[in-house]
Structure 1
Amino acid sequence: MAAIRKPYPSDVSDEEWSLVAPYLALMDESAPQRQHSLRELFNGLRYVLRYGVAWRAMPNDLPPWSAVYQQGRRWMAAGVFEALAQDLRAVLRLAAGRKEEPTAAIIDSRTLRSTPESGPRAGYDGAKRKRGSKLHMAVDTLGHLLALHVTPANVDDRAEVGKLAEAVQQATGESVELIYVDQGYTGDRAADAAKAQGVELCVVKLSEAKKGFVLLPKRWVVERSFAWATRCRRLVKDYERYAETLAGFHILAFACLMLKRATEFMIQSA
């Protein structure tokens, strides 16, 4: 199928496929479930993520939406994209002259407005004046994903520091010593939760004398990562019925971004 249809901009390249294919092969090619090309199933999942279409609105020259959805759920449940993102992060850090695992991280949250699909599990964020879900995310100082999870939007950011710090330490082998946060994470509760995971919480404060928009040291990196995610139309709002699907799509988005950068580095180094 891939040879006879016109490619979409979201399709995986040959170089990218050579890196990602080993992660996606959950079963032998002779298995009865393998009725469609893994590459085309992955292309279908990337299409939905990039362009934000409804599952049943997928183009007819890609595998059936039900097959793409079911295989995407299998990949997410197996932690395929988490493993891919972790390995690519290490490669890109080494390529940038950094250590394989970071010693510092940045965390923040982003509220996504709910839709009829996600409305039953939504909460109201009084600060953002939005009803929806909140994405809590940690990145390294290069902006690469370390950990994330989703809660209703009314959950306090401070209450999620411990869970996020624990996930960061698991992803990095407990290499992180310092986490940068904004003023929304002040207080002993958040600091103690981070300390319990062996991490110091550093609050980057906004200057009282500031005029207009000001980039906060270190803190701007996670905001840029949120902006990277919004290039995928599926992630502009919370279109998912399940919170784990929303989290899975975000992990896939960052994995695809790092996959592209890794292949660019391979080509330049060749």
Structure 2
Amino acid sequence: MCNEDRGGDDARSCYPSSLTDAMWAVLAPLLPARDLRKGGRPRVYGDRLVLDSIFYVLRSGCPWRMMPRDLAPADAAHRWFTTWRKNGTWDRVHDELRRRVRVAAGREAEPTAAVLDAQSIKSSEGGECRGFDMGKKTTGRKRHLVVDTMGLILVVMVTSASVNDRPGGRRILQRLAEAFATVALVWADGGYANSIDSSLLSWAKDKLGILLEIVKRTDDVKGFKVLPRRWVVERTLGWLVRNRRLARDYERLTANSEAMIKVAMIRLMTIRLADRPIRWSNATDREAARRINAEQLITT
């Protein structure tokens, strides 16, 4: 067995998805403290082992019941995943890590600008909110994301794939305005407004006080082209699908889908705060890193 201590917080695992000591030092203070006064049966599995189990499912994409035996049992890991979703633990940890990453990069803790986009993804059979995206010819769900200028998620919403960008954009911008009063500018692609229908732009400005700026590609461009601002959210979508659990939506509940996306970002931000080296695996990542460094030099 890979773990030295199956139940304690000092458990170690040999899997690449598992927490290192530096990562655990970042996450441990953010998890809910155990209330020993309530009595009852003591917990058998520690928080670190539970997180290692959840991260294993996230990275490998395996079903919960196919986890290795040296991790937490499937029912225990899934129970804590659901418990932390319902009591807001994932949200609190995610938001705190985002603030820390921004401050460590020399930014303000709360953003003032953001980027909006959506991604249609195939889903497994069954589950709520499944539909057909006529544009992408995909049966499944749609992930609506608003990220800051570093690509860190501010708001996420999972809907049926049949939800168009404009009504979906209206709903997620409403969430954004309720959660972040500081955001005044949002960039989006042409799917959220066109020359015929610009109602979303006027609604966002009048009702939410948000300036929605459309970044369009020129008609003479063939194939893929990196567009200003929009590449930030496209890179975030790429980060997500590198986790095999997110390459397809396997969750039966959209709330679990949203929670799993935040778990993926929690792991990514924990790696950054733990000062682990980042290896750029392709030319897109290297170009994104170059652009970020250039922007930081300009601002400083």
Question: TM-score with structure 2 length normalisation?
Answer: 0.83
Letter matched to residue 180 of structure 1: W
State whether structure 2 residue 21 is matched by structure 1 residue 20: no
Q: Which residue of 1 aligns with 2:200?
A: 190
**Any gaps of 5 or more consecutive residues in structure 2?**
6-11, 277-300
2: CA distance, partners of 1:78 / 1:10: 25
Q: Is the 8 A contact 2:61 2:244 kept in 1?
A: yes
What are the equivalent positions in structure 2 for 1:170-181 lying under 5 Å apart? 170-172=178-180, 174-181=181-188
Shift of 1:201: 0.5
2: CA distance, partners of 1:104 / 1:121: 30
Q: Residues 14 and 6 of structure 1: is their aligned pair in 2 closer, same or farther, counting only changes over 3 Å?
A: closer
Identity %: 36
State whether structure 2 residue 107 is matched by structure 1 residue 98: yes
2: CA distance, partners of 1:26 / 1:115: 36
State whether structure 2 residue 56 is matched by structure 1 residue 47: yes
Q: Is the 8 A contact 2:117 2:233 kept in 1?
A: yes
State whether structure 2 residue 238 is matched by structure 1 residue 227: yes
Q: Is the 8 A contact 2:122 2:249 kept in 1?
A: yes
SS of structure 1 residue aligned to 2:272: helix
Letter matched to residue 194 of structure 1: A
1: CA distance, partners of 2:31 / 2:271: 17
**Any gaps of 5 or more consecutive residues in structure 1?**
266-270
What are the equivalent positions in structure 2 for 1:1-270 lying under 5 Å apart? 2-3=3-4, 6-25=13-32, 27-28=34-35, 32=41, 34-118=43-127, 121-172=129-180, 174-186=181-193, 187-195=197-205, 196-264=207-275
Q: Is the 8 A contact 2:31 2:93 kept in 1?
A: no
Q: Is the 8 A contact 2:32 2:89 kept in 1?
A: no
Aligned length: 264
Q: Bigger CA drift: 104-113 or 93-102?
A: 93-102
Q: Residues 63 and 215 of structure 1: is their aligned pair in 2 closer, same or farther, counting only changes over 3 Å?
A: same
Alpha carbon RMSD of aligned pairs, Å? 1.9
Letter matched to residue 12 of structure 1: L
Letter matched to residue 129 of structure 2: R
Q: Residues 9 and 189 of structure 1: is their aligned pair in 2 closer, same or farther, counting only changes over 3 Å?
A: same
| Runs of 4+ residues over 4 Å off in structure 1 | none
1: CA distance, partners of 2:234 / 2:33: 34
Letter matched to residue 156 of structure 1: N
1:48-103 deviations in Å (ceiling 9; x for gaps):
11101011101111111000000110011122122122112222212222222111
1: CA distance, partners of 2:140 / 2:184: 32
Shift of 1:169: 3.1
Q: Which residue of 2 aligns with 1:268?
A: none
Q: Is the 8 A contact 1:50 1:232 kept in 2?
A: yes
Shift of 1:6: 4.5
Letter matched to residue 54 of structure 1: P
Question: TM-score with structure 1 length normalisation?
Answer: 0.91
Larger RCO (CA under 8 A, 6+ residues apart):
1
Shift of 1:219: 0.5
